[in-house]
Structure 1
Amino acid sequence: MTERIFVFVDEEELYSMMKDLDCLYCRNPVTASKHHLKKKHLRFAIYYKDSGIGKFSIPCYCADGGHGRSHWHCPMCTKILQRTKDYKIHITNHGVEMTDQSTVELQPSTVLLETLQTDTDDRTTGNKSSCMKCGVHFTTTSNLRRHERLQHCQDQQPMLCVDAKNGIYVTPKDTHGPRVPVHIQKSFSLQILLCELEECWDFMKAQAQRGNPGRECRHLIRTNLARPYTPPPPLCVHSLEDMTCKHLLSTPHTQQCQEIHSRAGLDGVDCVYPIFWGGHELSERCMYFSVYTGLKDKWCQFGRTRVTFDTRSGIWKCLCDFGRSRCVHKCLSMWWLFQERPELLGNALETSADDVGELEEEEEEEEVEEDDGVQLCPEEGDIC
């Protein structure tokens, strides 16, 4: 029986290996014709360079993957991975360089053209979007973006600079699902190159052990396409006073906001930086804020934390891990939103004077009990 291999340098190597025998990469018996290989395997191939040589891997549908699902066999070790994204990360950790199809160009075949039915009517009606590289058509733009990301390595994720002085950026953590931002710091003047995710630490540590100490994680790489720093609308004291007069913030919270805001000004950075991803067609149900803390901890490694506001439910969340139901970081974000986008707050602003009075009484009691002063941060997930 022909031995299965999972990496090829060109299509002919794949064709000649099976010569119209049963496909070695499918669970059920099927003739490994060129038609089948192009439609089922080559269409989703992943391309990379190993020691400067262009190669590609194809997805497998054998019984090893379970339930007939597509999966990937690593050609460098025995590991099997179910998701394309995980496979790319895995083989990158083996030291290969991801590429597009430039080294092993796979031209659109007759099979693909027949399968995907690319005709002029689809273009004129606007019901399909086409890939600029290979011409494949998709019914939705989200499917097109996924195809471009997986097949052509086009990671077009936004990257915003929130602190030009210290070289701090925010970018989506993942390429799918909610675009939750993560902080990274890349400053050549400060000689800092860090991402706040542990998985990225492990990746860069592994690369350093392999002799690539300058290798960056996928988030740090995006700084090459970062937008120029644009300062957000600054916080104004009169709007904070207006919130206090309307009983939207208690007096202790107002004082805490003023203190943090002043400290940020002395450090020469923005106290609150709202994160709008712009024209990337990302969901705006949740708003995110990069908020100055002036601290260095696991939840704010670069002196900033992330605050999330759900515009539908009115729920606020912060990364800090203390026990208050309303932390200063949420209050600072609410201050910015009250000043610039009050229509998004909705029911979150419906706080009565009695509620504020009760909050102030509770805070005064807690201040008496605590020897170390007032804690400024809450437990993640509490409702503001």
Structure 2
Amino acid sequence: MTERVFVFVDEEELFSVMKDLDCLYCRNPVTASKHHLKKRHLRFAVYYKDSGIGKFSIPCYCSDGGHGRSHWHCPMCSKILQRTKDYKIHITNHGVEMTDKSTVELQPTTVLLESQQTDNEDKTLGNKSACQKCGIFFTTTSNLRRHERLQHSQNQQPMLCIDAKNAIYVTPKDLHGPRVPIHIRKSFALQILLCELEECWDFMKAQAQSGNPGKECRHLVRTNHAQHYVPPPPLCVSSLEEMTDKHLLSISEKQECQEMNSRACLEGADCVYPIFWGEHDLPERCVYFSVYTDLKDKWCQFGRTRVSFDTKSGSWKCLCEHKRNRCVHKHLSMWWLFQEHPRLLQNALDINAERVDVVMDEEVKMCPEGDNLC
């Protein structure tokens, strides 16, 4: 029996292995004709460079994947992965470089035949939407968008510079679901290549031990497409005073915010940097903030922490190690949002009577007895 191979340098190598036998990569018996291989496997191939050599892998439908679903066999470690994005991340960790399309030049006759075949398909199936990067056609726009997200999403993920002085950026941790931002630092001048995620540390450490000390994780790679630093609107004391007058913050909380903002200004950093993914055509139920901490710990490795605000529920979350319901990082973020986008705080500003009483009681205790100003 012919041994299954999961990586090829060109299409002819794949065709020569199969030689019109039963397809080794399908669960049910089917002749491995060129038409079958192109339509069923090559159409969804993943291309990459390994040691500078262009290669590609094809999806498999054998029984190893369960229920006949498509899956991927890693040619380096024999691991089976169900999703294309997971496979791409996995083989990238083996040190290969992903490419948008095959680096192997097709023969002119092949290009002509495929072009004619595409024209015939268009006439048969009607109008189609084509991917601008790889040319694959889709019958619906939603399928095209999903393909673009899964296959070509690396360069589409936003990368924002939030601190030009210290070379700090933020980018989404994952490609799907809530786009939770993470901090990274990258500066060739400072010789810094750092990512907040422990899994990325392990990846770069393994690459260094394998003789690739400059290999970057998928988040650091995105800095090649980073947006230039744009300072956000600065925090104004007048808006903080207004929040205190409305009993949204106590006097002590107000002072704590002022002190933290002053320390950030002395460091030449933005105390609060808002992250609105909606500006980059991503879901935006949550608004995120990168907040200055004046500390360096596991939860704020680069002297900044992440605060999130759910615009629907009005709830706040912070990575702060104290895990308190109210911390200075949330207060600073609320200060910025109250100042710049008060309508987003609609739910959060519906403060119950108990919270108002707590703030007022604290203010009374801080004032001298008989002082009518409190």
Same fold (TM over 0.5): yes
Asked if the contact 1:38/1:111 (under 8 Å) is kept, the reply is: no
C-alpha displacement of 1:26: 0.7
Q: Name the CA distance, whole Å, in 1 between partners of 2:18 and 2:115.
A: 19
C-alpha displacement of 1:266: 1.1
Q: Name the CA distance, whole Å, in 2 between partners of 1:170 and 1:15.
A: 45
Residue of structure 1 in register with 2:134 after alignment: 134
Q: Name the CA distance, whole Å, in 1 between partners of 2:95 and 2:228.
A: 32
- 1:276-287 maps to which residues of 2 (within 5 A)? 276-277=276-277, 279-287=279-287
CA RMSD across the alignment: 2.6
Q: Name the CA distance, whole Å, in 2 between partners of 1:230 and 1:57.
A: 41
Q: Name the CA distance, whole Å, in 2 between partners of 1:111 and 1:322.
A: 63
- 1:300-339 maps to which residues of 2 (within 5 A)? 300-339=300-339
C-alpha displacement of 1:89: 2.3
Q: Name the CA distance, whole Å, in 1 between partners of 2:275 and 2:152.
A: 28
Q: Name the CA distance, whole Å, in 1 between partners of 2:323 and 2:149.
A: 41
- 1:223-234 maps to which residues of 2 (within 5 A)? 223-234=223-234
Asked if the contact 1:286/1:308 (under 8 Å) is kept, the reply is: yes
Residue of structure 2 in register with 1:187 after alignment: 187
Q: Name the CA distance, whole Å, in 2 between partners of 1:353 and 1:90.
A: 52
SS in 1 for 2:249: coil
Q: Name the CA distance, whole Å, in 1 between partners of 2:59 and 2:90.
A: 15
- 1:1-384 maps to which residues of 2 (within 5 A)? 1-105=1-105, 108=114, 117=122, 122=127, 129-138=129-138, 143-148=143-148, 150-151=150-151, 155-277=155-277, 279-352=279-352, 354-359=354-359, 361=361
SS in 1 for 2:103: coil
Asked if the contact 1:39/1:112 (under 8 Å) is kept, the reply is: no
> Counterpart amino acid of 2:214?
G
Structure 2 residues not aligned, in runs of 5+: 366-374
User: Could you report, residue by residue, the CA deviation over 1:220-264 in whole angstroms, capped at 9, with x for unpaired residues?
Assistant: 111121111110000000100001101111222111111111111
Asked if the contact 1:148/1:154 (under 8 Å) is kept, the reply is: no
Residue of structure 1 in register with 2:372 after alignment: none
Asked if the contact 2:23/2:29 (under 8 Å) is kept, the reply is: yes
C-alpha displacement of 1:145: 4.6
C-alpha displacement of 1:286: 0.8
> Counterpart amino acid of 2:182?
V
CA gap 1:364/1:198 in 2 versus in 1, 3 angstroms: farther
Q: Name the CA distance, whole Å, in 2 between partners of 1:113 and 1:153.
A: 28
CA gap 1:265/1:314 in 2 versus in 1, 3 angstroms: same
Residue of structure 1 in register with 2:369 after alignment: none
CA gap 1:354/1:16 in 2 versus in 1, 3 angstroms: closer
SS in 1 for 2:193: strand
> Counterpart amino acid of 1:23?
C
Asked if the contact 1:39/1:111 (under 8 Å) is kept, the reply is: no
> Counterpart amino acid of 1:293?
T
C-alpha displacement of 1:57: 0.8
Asked if the contact 2:307/2:330 (under 8 Å) is kept, the reply is: yes
Asked if the contact 1:23/1:32 (under 8 Å) is kept, the reply is: yes
Q: Name the CA distance, whole Å, in 2 between partners of 1:323 and 1:47.
A: 44
SS in 1 for 2:305: strand
Q: Name the CA distance, whole Å, in 1 between partners of 2:78 and 2:19.
A: 26
Residue of structure 2 in register with 1:377 after alignment: none
Q: Name the CA distance, whole Å, in 1 between partners of 2:124 and 2:275.
A: 40
Identity of aligned residues (%): 77
SS in 2 for 1:348: coil
Deviates more, 1:313-322 or 1:153-162: 153-162
Structure 1 residues not aligned, in runs of 5+: 123-127, 366-384
SS in 2 for 1:347: coil
Q: Name the CA distance, whole Å, in 2 between partners of 1:298 and 1:4.
A: 45
C-alpha displacement of 1:140: 6.0
User: Could you report, residue by residue, the CA deviation over 1:157-180 in whole angstroms, capped at 9, with x for unpaired residues?
Assistant: 111111111111001111222211
C-alpha displacement of 1:353: 5.7
CA gap 1:353/1:254 in 2 versus in 1, 3 angstroms: farther
> Counterpart amino acid of 2:88?
K
C-alpha displacement of 1:183: 0.4
Asked if the contact 2:294/2:303 (under 8 Å) is kept, the reply is: yes
Q: Name the CA distance, whole Å, in 1 between partners of 2:364 and 2:92.
A: 55
> Counterpart amino acid of 1:81?
L
CA gap 1:188/1:55 in 2 versus in 1, 3 angstroms: closer
Q: Name the CA distance, whole Å, in 2 between partners of 1:363 and 1:103.
A: 69
CA gap 1:164/1:83 in 2 versus in 1, 3 angstroms: same
CA gap 1:200/1:360 in 2 versus in 1, 3 angstroms: farther
C-alpha displacement of 1:147: 2.6
CA gap 1:233/1:212 in 2 versus in 1, 3 angstroms: same
CA gap 1:53/1:189 in 2 versus in 1, 3 angstroms: closer
Q: Name the CA distance, whole Å, in 1 between partners of 2:119 and 2:36.
A: 14
CA gap 1:194/1:93 in 2 versus in 1, 3 angstroms: same
Q: Name the CA distance, whole Å, in 1 between partners of 2:353 and 2:300.
A: 33
Asked if the contact 1:204/1:213 (under 8 Å) is kept, the reply is: yes
